[in-house]
Amino acid sequence: MLNEPKRGATLEVVVSRMQTVSKALQTEEAGSAAYENRIRLLALSATVPNIEDIADWLKDSSGAPAEIK
């Protein structure tokens, strides 16, 4: 995903794990109003050549795209 041999793969694994944990928390809290345990991702970069790919990858489970500006 990211064009950096060392940091790219590590970052991708960490974000993927966070997405998995977030989905598990949403499943546990289905039907409740507890949002304190939600995981939010904030992606910042000065230059991103493949912004569409990253936006697709960061979509949440409801299918709504992440807000990337």
Q: Please check whether residue 64 lies inside any domain of the structure.
A: no
Domain for residue 51, yes or no?
yes
Taking alpha carbons only, the member of 60, 63, 64 closest to residue 26 is 60
Rounded Cα distance between 45 and 26, Å, is 28
Residues 6+ away with beta carbon under 8 Å from 21:
39
Q: What pLDDT shows up at residue 59? A: 74
In a domain, 1, yes or no: no
pLDDT tens-place values along the chain, 69 residues long: 566 777 788 888 888 898 888 888 777 766 565 555 567 777 777 777 887 888 787 775 555 555 655
**What is the tens place of the pLDDT at every residue in 29-42?**
665 655 555 677 77
Kindly report the pTM of this predicted structure: 0.57
Residue at 65 is within a domain = no
- For residue 18, being part of any structural domain is answered with yes
User: What's the distance, CA 28 to chain centroid?
Assistant: 19
